[in-house]
């Protein structure tokens, strides 16, 4: 079963190595997403941001980083990555509803934003499949997407 887990003393080191990089070099800025190591440090010094591991039972399969976006007065799904070794197994689509449910419950929001590069066609496809739509705006060179929640979503 897919679930989210707060980072703690026992798992933060493993979390820093969740990577979309096939060579697991864990650079600070990967092709499509900022590294988990950077995100973890950011969440320590900017407590409005949350870092969570994504697990399948007890196996770490990914990482998510989110928080409140003051400019939009709504939550922002800032970084979401399935570890390279677990990509192509359906985890990206399986974990996204869990993440959206967590954000809706935590923030009691009418919807959620995310930003991404339009060249990241796999991510665009998954997010649009779940109902995210581009707003026509950009933030730091990335397209802004929004998903309104209904009473039965996610």
DSSP string, 50-103: EEEEEEETTEEEEEEEEEEETTTTEEEEEEEEE-GGGTTSSHHHHHHHHHHHHH
pTM for the model stands at 0.76
Report how far apart, in Å, the C-alpha atoms of 123 and of each of 66, 81, 117, 128, 129 are.
16, 10, 9, 8, 10
DSSP state of 47: T
Confidence grade of residue 153 (pLDDT, cut at 50, 70, 90): very low
Angle formed at CA 145 by CA 84 and CA 23, multiple of 5 degrees: 15
Mind listing the pLDDT tens digit for each residue in 47-93?
889 999 999 999 999 999 999 999 999 999 998 989 889 989 999 99
* Total Cβ atoms within 10 A of residue 114: 22
d(CA 57, CA 78): 24
Task: Give CA–CA dist 5/13, Å, rounded.
Answer: 14
CATH architecture of the domain with residue range 2-148: 3-Layer(aba) Sandwich (3.40)
Q: What is the signed CA dihedral for 106, 123, 53, 30, rounded to 10 degrees?
A: -130
Residue 118 has pLDDT above 50, yes or no: yes
């Amino acid at each position: 079963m897919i679930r989210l887990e707060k980072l703690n003393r026992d798992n933060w080191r493993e979390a820093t190595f969740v990577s979309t990089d096939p060579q697991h070099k864990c650079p600070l800025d990967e092709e499509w997403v900022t590294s988990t190591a950077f995100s973890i440090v950011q969440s320590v010094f900017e407590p409005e941001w949350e870092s969570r591991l994504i697990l399948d039972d007890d196996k770490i399969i990914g990482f998510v980083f989110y928080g409140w976006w003051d400019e939009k007065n709504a939550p922002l799904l800032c970084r979401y990555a399935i570890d390279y070794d677990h990509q192509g197994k359906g985890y990206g689509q399986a974990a996204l509803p869990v993440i959206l449910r967590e954000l809706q419950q935590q923030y009691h929001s009418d919807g959620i934003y995310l930003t991404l590069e339009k060249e990241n066609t796999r991510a665009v496809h998954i997010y649009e499949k779940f109902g995210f739509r581009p707003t026509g705006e950009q933030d730091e060179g990335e397209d802004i997407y929004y998903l309104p929640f209904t009473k039965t979503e996610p």
